[in-house]
Amino acid sequence: MAEIKDPENTIIIELKDGPVVIELLPDVAPKHAERMKELARAGKYDGVVFHRVIDGFMAQTGDVENGNATVDTFNLRRAGTGGSDLPDLPAEFSRLPHDRGTLGAARAMDPNSANSQFFINFKDNHFLNGQYTVYGRVIEGMDNVDKIKRGEPPAEPDRMISVKVAADG
């Protein structure tokens, strides 16, 4: 496992192919980092599918309202249309580039509409710089991210088995 310098600001996502360790960037985007920890601690990300996975671009997930494949009401067509029951977040744009392995806040047209959804960049996507909040980076397990099934949505999407804050054990 990667050396975890700040367990309170490290997220571990368990995927079918193994763990993905994400270092959150609370100094860059404190509200986004806090939201991810809040939803992870509440178990809201567990079972949520990757509903938009574009080869050579990114893998998007985090629709805690409509994306949980472990509940009876799950409908893949609705995955990606919701957020959480928490208020939307204001944009926290920075000079950090959307490089391979960075975590970006997914949103609607309004820059201040990010909520629970996020994406992991498969490659450097600098055309997104200054338009989407960067609030974390994969420090281990990018090979597991690369194995996520592609599609918009994938016919049988991969999901986040569990999402935990490293400090919680």
> Tell me: the pLDDT tens digits for 108-143?
999 999 999 999 999 999 999 999 999 999 999 999
pLDDT of 2 > 80? The answer is no
Pairing of strands 58-61, 52-54: antiparallel
pTM assigned to the model: 0.97
Mean pLDDT of 81-98: 97
Question: pLDDT at residue 50 above 90?
Answer: yes
Name all domains of the chain by residue range, CATH numbers in brackets: 8-159 (2.40.100.10)
pLDDT of residue 100: 98
CB 6 within 8 A of CB 133: no
b/e per residue 80-106 (b: at least 16 CB within 10 A): bebbbeeebbebbbeebebebbbbbbb
Residue-level pLDDT at 1: 65
Question: What's the mean pLDDT when you consider all of the chain?
Answer: 97
pLDDT at 169: 82
Would you state the pLDDT for residue 34? Answer: 98
Beta strand ranges found along 9-96 (DSSP E): 10-15, 18-24, 52-54, 58-61
**Per-residue pLDDT tens over the stretch 16-36:** 999 999 999 999 999 999 999
